[in-house]
Amino acid sequence: MKLYLDTSDIQAVKRISAIFPVSGVTTNPLIVCAGETSLFDLLPALRDAMGGQGTLFAQVISNTVEGMIEDALKLRERVENLVVKVPVTPKGLQAIKELTKQGVPTLATAVYGAAQGFLGVLAGAQYVSPYVSRIDAQGGDGPATVSELQCLLSTHAPEKELVAASFKSPRQALECMLIGCKGITLPVNVFDMFISDPAVFAAVDQFESAWQKKFNKTCL
């Protein structure tokens, strides 16, 4: 499975890429607005932070079909191999369909239901992102939606990729991985929570101090 970071924090992408092979970085307008760097400076900086590797995702802003297509082409012109995120609305579906004809790779986003997301895929999107914690927050079941959508993809469109998004806790992400989700994008704080259990550091300290005591050194 693939693990992406959902962030505009260049330093965090650099830090995490150094310790883990992230598959890429996803952004959306809220994430970009939360940072200080303009989108067209941010995207190359994020790619550099991943050592030139990985897939980058950025979202259209316009809410007309023509505008979305224009935004998508502008993004692709400025950033090589970028995947364009398009919300699965009636207009977004049309934009995905047109962009697919033009050979522009898209991610169907703002997905709150499995069938809605699947329509984005059938319209041509290569990737699809259900919003796990937002679905939970409106009384739905985020992981169950992910499971249904992953099942639809595995059955009908195995070459397409699910990238579950909108995580607030490691548990939500773990639940999605357990049900067979093939891709997730995590905010930096959730990624960090996976590897910051104090008990782990205490265990490592314990090994080191036992060795130090016995052999008077902290290496083999």
* Interactions with ligand G3P, residue window 175-204 (CB under 6 A): none
Positions 25 through 44 that interact with ligand G3P (CB under 6 A): 26, 28, 30
Rounded to an integer, what distance in angstroms lies between the CA atom of residue 170 and that of residue 122? 30
Residue 134 binding ligand G3P, by CB under 6 A: yes
Bridge-based pairing of strands 24-26 and 106-111 is unpaired
- Out of 37, 94, 133, 189, the only residue in the binding site for ligand G3P (CB under 6 A) is 133
Minimum distance, C-beta of residue 133 to ligand G3P, in the bound complex (Å) = 6
Which of 88, 121, 165, 181 is in the footprint of ligand G3P by CB under 6 A? 165
Q: Is 99 in the site for ligand G3P (CB under 6 A)?
A: no
6 binds ligand G3P (CB under 6 A): yes
Q: Which two tokens stand for residue 31?
A: 């994430």
Looking at the Cβ atoms of 113 and 211, the one nearer to ligand G3P is 113
**What are the Cα distances from residue 112, in Å, to 27, 127, 149, 192, 200?**
18, 15, 11, 26, 36
Residue whose CB is less far from ligand G3P, 31 or 69: 31
Does position 89 interact with ligand G3P (CB under 6 A)? The reply is no
Q: What gap in Å lies between CA 61 and CA 72, rounded to an integer?
A: 9
Q: Shortest distance, CB of residue 78 to ligand G3P, whole angstroms?
A: 20
Which stretch in 88-96, 119-127, 131-139, 154-162 sits in contact with ligand G3P by CB under 6 A? 131-139
Strands (E), the chain: 2-6, 24-26, 55-59, 83-87, 106-111, 127-130, 161-162, 183-186
Which residues are marked as active site? 85
| Sequence-ordered strand ranges (E) for 73-210 | 83-87, 106-111, 127-130, 161-162, 183-186
108: left (phi over 0), alpha (psi -120 to 50) or beta: beta
Largest CA distance in the chain: 71
Interface region with ligand G3P, contact rule CB under 6 A, candidates 41-49, 66-74, 92-100, 128-136: 128-136
The residue ranges that bind ligand G3P (CB under 6 A) are 6, 26, 28, 30, 131, 133-134, 165-166
